[in-house]
Amino acid sequence: MSDDGRIALCLTLNGALRQVAVAPCDTLLDLIRDTLGLTGTKKGCDMGACGACTVLAGGRRIKACLALAASYDGETITTIEGIGAPDALHPLQDAFIRHDALQCGYCTPGQILSAISLLDEKPKDLAAIREGMSGNLCRCGAYPNIVAAIAEVAGL
Amino acid sequence: MSADPTLRLEAALKVTGQAMYPAEAPMQGMLHAVLVEAPIPCGEVLSLDSAQAALTPGFADLVSYPEAQLLKPSGVTALIHERTVHFVGQPVALVAADSLLAARAAARAVRVEYQERPAVTVLGQALDQVYAPALAGRAPSESRRGDAAGALAEATLVVRHRYETAVNNHHPMEPHAVVCNWVGDLATVHTTTQAVFGTRSIIAHAFQMPAEQARVITRFLGGGFGCKGQLWWPWMLLAMLASRRTGRPVRLELTRAQLFTLAGRRAETVQDLALGFAKDGTLTAIDHQVLAQTSTHAEYADTTAGVSRWLYACPNVTTAHRLIRTNQPHPIPMRAPGSAPGTFAMESAMDEAAERLGVDPVDLRVRNFADHDQDSGRPWSSNGLLECYRIGAERFGWSRRPARGATCDGRWRIGWGMASTFYPQHRQGSRARIRLGGDASLLVQCGTQDMGSGTYTVLGQMAAEALGVPMANVSVELGDTWLPEGPFSAGSQVTVSLVPSVEMATATMKATLAAMAVGDPDSPLAGQDAADLVFADGTIRSRTGNVGESLAALMARRAPEGLEAEGSAAPPEAMTFSSMGYGAIFVEVGVDPDLGEVRVRRIGGAFAAGRILNPLLTRSQYVGGLIGGIGTALHERTVTDAASGRILGDSFADYLIPVHADMPDFDIALVDEHDPHLPGGVKGVGMLGTAGVQAAIANAIHHAVGRRIRHLPIRIEDLIGEDSGRATDS
């Protein structure tokens, strides 16, 4: 810890090594979104109830607003910016577009990261996808199209 | 233009996290702001001491009543000029600091002294203080045709009940935010608004500056549903004031909890509805009395009884809206304002009437179809409601509806219900600009904003189709007051408002291109009849002569610097027709009678809303609206603690909204409806899914287990144990 009470940490973010200093109570979300400027990760509720801030830590989905940045020293974090770009889309991003699985788009990065992690869990049917995605809220009501996009990529 | 399943234009930006929402505007040296909120529901601010707050490390500024006097007074600034507290959570100051943490710490250190006064915190405390508002939405608060009381006295069947609907909050996933910066007298304001131009007018008025000196930007909006409008403006202005005073950019973001208090709400309603019928099922009388909440600092009423004025044919109709002022947050329009709670009452009562008359619920509605607008006496511009009933019933399999309570699936009792939905059509003036580049790429510009409803896409489609430019070569710019003034996003009216201005711009552009082509000796089209040219697939062709030239070749040769055209449309003058969008919604539920659990298993919706520009996006709008309706029907209820005036459970952990696991199967039918009277034959679609579905669910629950629930939301406690008096009162 430095003189001003900040904690130095080093993490791998979207494949690049990043060294940062954080306040002890900084969340991983504020580190990603504000300090590092990767605004694809959204803040919807800041209390772990909406899933808009979902990122991957060591390949598993977590809610970045409930994670203290300081406890992710040495970890590997993936945000939506590390998944694909408009000219190099991840298959799930491409499926989201074709199924119109988004409207306002604010919950979309969290939905996609959550779904990428869910696909590793090998959901067996649509009900399992719905259950496994229920931590990601969408107020526009894109749910059925989101599930259709995930099901397509899952081969269901 | 043919219906085109064009994909969402901006989708690639949204799925990759590159779409920039207002809170994300990058600024150097930015301050973070938080609001200091009053803990009392009613009273006065006696004093506000910022001495301790100012000592907090990182503190930069505090703005409160004295500082806000710099702003010119208006209805919008009342809450920040006057020291009166109207509801718990009302901001009394804004603190700006170097970081969000520092701002929170400084805000906690602000000492405020209040003089508390007795408050009215719930509707029931002031039932003796009911009053009639001037307006209910855009309509008069009262209406009367014929003699409803007399007709009810003579009716063969009277269905008379009280229906109650809960407070709902909009809760777009993106909280309200502003990032503002002043450079000299010029203000740049990135904010979450459904009206960039309306926001600019408010800023210009408050700061007494020419409108051109404020630039309001909302490139992407993370949902709105009615709440990103005027109630946000006072707090946005406070942030701008802090930015002006400190000379630094300021960011203010509402918390999720603040979306319960500062962003508006769908007001609770208590509706007394009486329907009178002749023996053959003809509606002979409607009496619809609506009581709703408004705040102590402003007035708002939804057109909840509009359904009784417009939906069915009936010679004797009386409707009235009444309000009670409470020390609660102010209500504003929310997704299908008025028609959602209003159709819950009407369509529940129609279902009950059908049962008592021994008539099929669809047949009863068909029998009472209104062939013109009986409220205004005007003809419909079009009305596809009967087709919605027919097609919706057919696709759902309604003719195979089993007897009440006759079907089970394991522990589930299965029930089917249906209801009508409608929403009035509105239109605003608008301007749009198109620019054809020297390479024949097309840019469409308009200062409206896309809440997620698809404005980017349909605006691009309209211009592209008119000029025959492939969508791959089209880009659209929205959400900036430096663009031509476009409509605000509310009431399903953006697309319908833009149709005439885009048509005018593209017609002007086509005339220019045609004249250029036929007058150019180097063009294969030289000497052709300009009126005979067809624009398609990036090419201009002569309809009769077998010649053509690509737009790219023509532009490269004759206008390498590009061409521009603008179109504008005035708001509609006095209407000679009435216009509504319509739908019929069919629902299957499962109810576990032991656990009181309700599952919506499938929803079929048939909707008629003029010419559909993009079926893919329209389906998404309908499904999204229906999901919002499921929330209103089964989940959402904002509760105020009567003793303290505080909102109970102001989080997504307690205010339940539908999630993936709640989803039924959806079957959406887009019913063809030709409207020769509206510009382009286009109607708005956004609201239709969110009305009607609540009654369809309640009716299906009744069909499953025989309980008639007349309040929303319908919860487990309504369906377990003894049938309570509340659920079946008459």
pLDDT digits (tens, 9 = 90+) for A99-148: 999 999 999 999 999 999 999 999 999 999 999 999 999 999 999 999 99
Q: Is the peptide bond before A109 cis (omega within 30 degrees of 0)?
A: no
pLDDT at B411: 96
pLDDT at B401: 97
A46 chain-B contacts, CB cut-off 8 A: 255-256
Query: Closest by alpha carbon to B24, among A106, A66, A139?
Result: A106
Exposed, middle or buried by CB within 10 Å (0-12, 13-18, 19+), for A120?
exposed
Q: How many CA atoms lie within 13 A of B174 on its CB side?
A: 36
pLDDT at B726: 47
CB-CB under 8 Å, B617 with A105: no
**What is the mean pLDDT of the segment spanning B39-48?**
98
Query: B20 to chain A nearest CA, in Å?
Result: 8
| CA–CA dist B696, B419 (Å, integer) | 5
Type and span of the H or E element at B639: strand B639-640
Query: Closest by alpha carbon to B279, among B202, B357, B339?
Result: B357
B413 pairs with which residues across the strands?
Answer: B408, B591
Q: Which tokens belong to B328? A: 């609660």
Predicted confidence (pLDDT) per residue in B589-635, tens digit? 999 999 999 999 999 999 999 999 999 999 999 999 999 999 999 99
pLDDT for residue B270 is more than 50: yes
pLDDT for residue B546 is more than 70: yes
| CA–CA dist B658, B453 (Å, integer) | 19
Q: Are B613 and B461 in contact (CB under 8 A)?
A: yes
The identity of residue A36, as a single letter, is: L
Neighbour count for residue B729 (Cβ, 10 Å): 11
3-state secondary structure B111-141: EEEEEECCCCCCHHHHCCCCECCCEECCEEC
The closest CB to that of A49, out of B8, B21, B653, belongs to: B653
Predicted confidence (pLDDT) per residue in A72-100, tens digit? 999 999 999 999 999 999 999 999 999 99
Predicted confidence (pLDDT) per residue in B472-514, tens digit? 999 999 999 999 998 888 777 888 888 889 999 999 999 999 9
pLDDT for residue B307 is more than 70: yes
Buried/exposed A1-32: b ≥16 CB within 10 Å, e otherwise:
eeeeeebebebbbbeeeeebbbbeebbbbbbb
Predicted confidence (pLDDT) per residue in B679-706, tens digit? 889 998 989 999 999 999 999 999 999 9
A16 touching B, CB under 8 A? no
3-state class (DSSP) for residue B603: strand
Buried/exposed B157-173: b ≥16 CB within 10 Å, e otherwise:
ebbebebbbbbbbbbbb
C-alpha distances (whole Å) from B250 to each of A33, A126, B62, B140, B229 are 16, 45, 12, 42, 20
Q: Which tokens belong to B243? A: 């930015």
CB-CB under 8 Å, B651 with A141: no
A60 pairs with which residues across the strands?
Answer: A57
CB-CB under 8 Å, B14 with A105: yes
Query: Closest by alpha carbon to B220, among B36, B24, B360?
Result: B24
B5 confidence band (pLDDT: 50, 70, 90): low
Query: A114 to chain B nearest CA, in Å?
Result: 13
| CA–CA dist B99, A35 (Å, integer) | 11
B4 confidence band (pLDDT: 50, 70, 90): very low
The identity of residue A32, as a single letter, is: I
pLDDT at A1: 63
Query: B693 to chain A nearest CA, in Å?
Result: 14
This prediction has a pTM of 0.97
Q: A83, A139, A153: which to substitute to probe chain B, counting the most B Cβ within 10 Å?
A: A139
Residues 189-248 in B contacting A (C-alpha not used; CB under 8 Å): 220-223, 225
Dihedral of the CA atoms B617, B623, B628, B631 (nearest 10)? Answer: -160
Q: How many CA atoms lie within 13 A of B370 on its CB side?
A: 28
B451 chain-A contacts, CB cut-off 8 A: 104
Q: What is the DSSP string of B317-349?
A: EEEEEEEEEESSPPP---SSTTHHHHHHHHHHH
Long-range CB contacts (< 8 A, 24+ apart) of A30-36? A30/A69, A30/B100, A31/A69, A32/A64, A32/A77, A32/A79, A33/B24, A34/B100
- Return all residues near B97 (Cβ < 8 A) that are at least 6 apart: B31, B32, B33, B56, B58, B59, B60, B103, B105, B106
Q: Which tokens belong to B668? A: 């959406």
A109 touching B, CB under 8 A? yes
Query: A82 to chain B nearest CA, in Å?
Result: 9
Q: Are B346 and B308 in contact (CB under 8 A)?
A: yes
CB-CB under 8 Å, A44 with B174: yes
Q: What are phi and psi of B272, to 5 degrees?
A: -100, 115
Q: What are phi and psi of B510, to 5 degrees?
A: -65, -40
pLDDT at B494: 83
Predicted confidence (pLDDT) per residue in B511-526, tens digit? 999 999 999 999 999 9
Type and span of the H or E element at A145: helix A143-154
CB-CB under 8 Å, A45 with B652: yes
pLDDT at B729: 38
**Residue given tokens 């200091």 in the structure block:** B36
Q: Are B210 and B158 in contact (CB under 8 A)?
A: no
B215 pairs with which residues across the strands?
Answer: B188
| CA–CA dist A141, A144 (Å, integer) | 8
Q: State the pairing for strand pair B142-145/B317-326.
A: antiparallel
pLDDT averaged over every residue in chain B: 95
pLDDT for residue B723 is more than 80: no
Provide the ipTM: 0.98
B216 pairs with which residues across the strands?
Answer: B189
B121 confidence band (pLDDT: 50, 70, 90): very high
- Return all residues near B91 (Cβ < 8 A) that are at least 6 apart: B35, B36, B37, B38, B79, B80, B234, B235, B238, B262
pLDDT at B609: 96
CB-CB under 8 Å, B616 with A100: yes
Q: Which tokens belong to B33? A: 């702001």
pLDDT for residue B376 is more than 80: yes
A104 chain-B contacts, CB cut-off 8 A: 172-174, 220-223, 451-452
3-state secondary structure B38-96: CCCCCEEEEEEECHHHHCCCCEEEEECHHHHCCCCCCCCCHHHHCCEECCCCCEEEEEE
3-state class (DSSP) for residue B285: strand
- Return all residues near B704 (Cβ < 8 A) that are at least 6 apart: B405, B413, B414, B415, B589, B590, B591
pLDDT for residue B2 is more than 50: no
Q: Are B204 and B154 in contact (CB under 8 A)?
A: no
| CA–CA dist B620, A142 (Å, integer) | 7
Q: Are A10 and A17 in contact (CB under 8 A)?
A: yes
Q: Are B171 and B655 in contact (CB under 8 A)?
A: yes
A96 touching B, CB under 8 A? yes
| CA–CA dist A13, A4 (Å, integer) | 25
Query: Closest by alpha carbon to B335, among B442, B258, B223?
Result: B223
Buried/exposed B606-630: b ≥16 CB within 10 Å, e otherwise:
bbbbbbbbbebbbbbbbbbbbbbbb
Dihedral of the CA atoms B74, B76, B77, B83 (nearest 10)? Answer: 110
Q: Are B93 and B34 in contact (CB under 8 A)?
A: no
Inter-axis angle of helices B494-518 and B551-558, to 10 degrees?
70
pLDDT at B671: 97
| CA–CA dist A82, A98 (Å, integer) | 21
